[in-house]
Homo-oligomer: A and B are copies of this chain.
Amino acid sequence: MRLSLKPSLDPTAYRFCHDLRTRFAETDAMGIIHHGAYPAYLEEARAAMLRDAGFPYDGVRDGDLGVDFAVLELYVRHRRPLLFDDLVTVHVVVDDLTRTTFQVGYLLTVDDVVRATAVTVHGAVDGRGRPARMPAFLSGLVGPGS
């Protein structure tokens, strides 16, 4: 288990925010957002952060030599359920960068109330899933920023 990052409950500990609205398709028969929907929420927020930071996705889209970040580990803690039509703010921060992996912490809030925290651990891979060199720009994304 490489997972070491402890996601903060304090939004100021995060670098980036991404808003998304829950879908009815993501609800379940208990009337809440099914826990299986959260990995896609985290990924959407991570992709938004990387897009915002100028990371090119063309490699993955074209199947050529680009770099993507494979998910090695995933941890989600559900504190309060999300409901249909909730406007969720996903706070994102990169941390614990090594030569082969980095971790991303997440705080999910609705109207400033915490709903969940999460961590993903990633390794760099090329478009076919083989290990690749960690892009240099990642070191500039570590921590909450200034």
A residues sitting closer than 8 Å to B (CB atoms) are 1, 3, 21, 23-32, 34-36, 38-40, 43-44, 47, 51, 57, 60-61, 63, 68, 70-78, 81, 83-85, 125, 127-129
Among A30, A77, A84, A128, the one with the most B-chain Cβ atoms within 10 Å of its Cβ is A30
Contacts of A35 in B (CB 8 A): 39, 71, 74
Contact indicator B30/A125 (Cβ below 8 Å): yes
Contact indicator A28/B28 (Cβ below 8 Å): yes
22 contacts between A and B (CB under 8 A): A23-B40, A23-B44, A25-B28, A25-B34, A28-B28, A29-B29, A30-B60, A30-B125, A30-B127, A31-B128, A36-B36, A36-B39, A36-B43, A39-B39, A51-B85, A61-B84, A63-B63, A73-B75, A73-B78, A74-B78, A75-B75, A81-B129
